[in-house]
Amino acid sequence: MIAILDYGFGNVRSAQRAFSRHGIASEITSETQMCIEADGLVIPGVGAFAACMDGLDAVGASAIVDARLVANRPTLGICVGMQVLFTTGVEHGVTRNGLAQWPGTIEQLQSDVLPHIGWSEVQVAGGSTLFRGVTNERFYFVHSYAAQKWEIEPSESLAPAKVTWSEYGSAFIAAVENGPLSATQFHPEKSGDAGATLIENWIATCR
């Protein structure tokens, strides 16, 4: 069963429909134990970083994510649901702490035209599980902010994260696969067949 975290922000129904197309049961919920114990947890997100974090704090998301990672249970952030996994977000002069699973700051894209809306190519990380079978596809983005640096240094004791990049004005992080924690800046549920394959690949990690 896939739990879709309900904290007042994000296209939760779109996410649920995406899993239903794969014949996977999912539930939109903020109940702590269900979110911790589900085979997979999805953190969607639409809107401002600070507002999303207020909603996440209200449902105890930090403790939920921590518990899942300790138990090695897959978790997927989508769009702002990816952004909040970083340390800090800065939007319109407002600085807000994130869930701090990864060091880094979410900042405005370096482009004259914002938001970034539409289909863009990605430079897939070597050995990616999420992008298996869709390494040369485009994905659908809707955002003005992103992480533009990956700040975790390689470690001898931990497998390196797989970081996928895209570009809009300048380079930004399009997806991360880091142990049981994964995220995409784009919307796989709106990315056609390529997005459906990516969702299927993630579902396979939940079994």
pLDDT in tens, 35-53: 999 999 999 999 999 999 9
Contact yes or no for 189/14 (Cβ under 8 A): yes
Q: Name the token pair of 109.
A: 């894209």
pLDDT in tens, 147-184: 999 998 877 667 899 999 999 999 999 999 999 999 99
Instruction: Give catalytic status of residue 22 as yes or no.
Output: no
Catalytic residue among 91, 137, 189, 200: 189
CATH 3.40.50.880 holds for 2-205? yes
Instruction: Give catalytic status of residue 189 as yes or no.
Output: yes
How many CB atoms within 10 Å of residue 201? 18
Catalytic residue among 91, 177, 187, 200: 187
Catalytic residue among 35, 79, 91, 116: 79
Instruction: Give catalytic status of residue 91 as yes or no.
Output: no
CA dihedral 94, 87, 135, 109 (to 10 degrees): 20
The pTM of the full predicted model, rounded to 2 decimals, is 0.96
Largest CA distance in the chain: 44
